[in-house]
Structures are given as C-alpha cells and as structure tokens.
Structure 1
Amino acid sequence: MDEDQAGEDEERGAASFEARLAAARERQGLDRPAASSQGTDLPPNALALGLRVGVELASALAVAVAIGYWLDRWLHTRPLFLAVFVPLGGAAGVMNVWRLVGPRGRR
C-alpha cells in the first residue's frame, strides 16, 4: 500500500512541477511564437534601420580614427597610422552594415 501511495505522490509532484514550469515559461514569454514570421532580426521600421546603419558606420569610423590618432601621437608618426586606420574603419563599418541588411543565406 505504501508503494502505491508513493507512486501517486510522485505522479502528482511531476504533474505539479510541469504545471508550474509551464506557468513560469508563459510568464517569461518563452512559449510565445516569434513576432516575425520571417525569422529576421531587423528593426521593425525604416527609421530604426536607417539610424542603426548611420550609427554603425559612424562608430566604426570614429573608433578607427581614435586608434590611428593615438598611435600617431604615441609613435610620433603624424599621418601614417591615421591614413591606415581610416580606410580600415570605413571597411569595418560597411561590413557591419552588410551583415545587417545583406542576404541571410550563409548563416
């Protein structure tokens, strides 16, 4: 008789756990379907996309200019590193934008 009761308690505990787990997942939004059926992580509107593109380009270029300027001042080679890092920063910005809006086939 004790074995039957222990088995029932286990089943009740497992069912209770499953119910609590399902409720917690629902509260956290883990069981909801994705908002976008296309599976993309693009911003929802054109303004957000345009702002992100601008920020990506400007920030990559700003970091590259800062690194080039700092290296030139540190090594006393005025235009050398700045001239090297500006195209690298521009290329990095373009690459980030391409990742953002380019084709998604090879992921």
Structure 2
Amino acid sequence: MAEDERKATPDDLDKRLESVRQAYRKGVGGRSSKPATSAGGEKLGVGMRVAVELVAGVVAGAFLGLMADRWLGTKPWLLIVGFVLGCGAAFLNVYRVAQAEERRGKSPPSAE
C-alpha cells in the first residue's frame, strides 16, 4: 500500500453513504425511488394461483365423484363424471384468472 494513499475515516464513509442514499431516493440511474417489488414476484403469484386452481378443481371433482360412488354404489361412473366436471371447472377458473390478468395488464398504471 502506497503511503500517499489517504485512509478513509468514518466521517468520509458517512458522507459517501449519505450521498448514495440521496441518489437512491432521487432515483438516479434510471431506477425508481420505490423499492423493487418486481413484477416477477407478481407473476409467480399468478402462476401459483393457476396451479392451485387446476389441482383443486380436479381433486375436488374426483373426490366428490368418489364419495357419491361409495354412497350410491355406482363405481366408477360418478368418479369419472366428477373428474370431468372438476377438470372443466378448473379450466374455467384458470380462464377467469387469465382474463383478469389481461385486463389488469391493459389498465393504465395507477399514480402512486
């Protein structure tokens, strides 16, 4: 280490940290001043919702069909009917989620 290099003092570090904080608040460098909640997190949430809707619809339909089969003694017909109805309900729910996301994507961003 060269002797002519200046060692950083705590005061110098405080000044540099404050200037970085001010730049962050102003949004220097093309960044917004609000923390990045990231659209990726929102998209992940929508993807998880779609997955849950698919699984829940199929499982609920199959379960209700199975229970109705046991109660009425019609194995496996009501299980098949419940499975098909559950799949239809699941895809309808996924379609509704997709339509809501499309509408949300087209709407102008709210002023925050």
Percent of residue pairs bearing the same amino acid type:
37
Higher relative contact order (CA 8 A, sep 6+): 1
Where does structure 1 lack aligned partners over 5 or more consecutive residues? Answer: 1-42
Structure 1 runs of 4+ aligned residues shifted over 3 Å read: none
Aligned pair count reads 62
How far apart are the structure 2 equivalents of 1:51 and 1:96?
13
Alignment of 1:8-87 (within 5 A): 45-87=42-84
TM-score, L = length of structure 2: 0.51
Equivalent position of 1:98 in the other structure: 95
Q: CA deviation at 1:44?
A: 5.9
How far apart are the structure 1 equivalents of 2:92 and 2:58?
12
TM-score, L = length of structure 1: 0.53
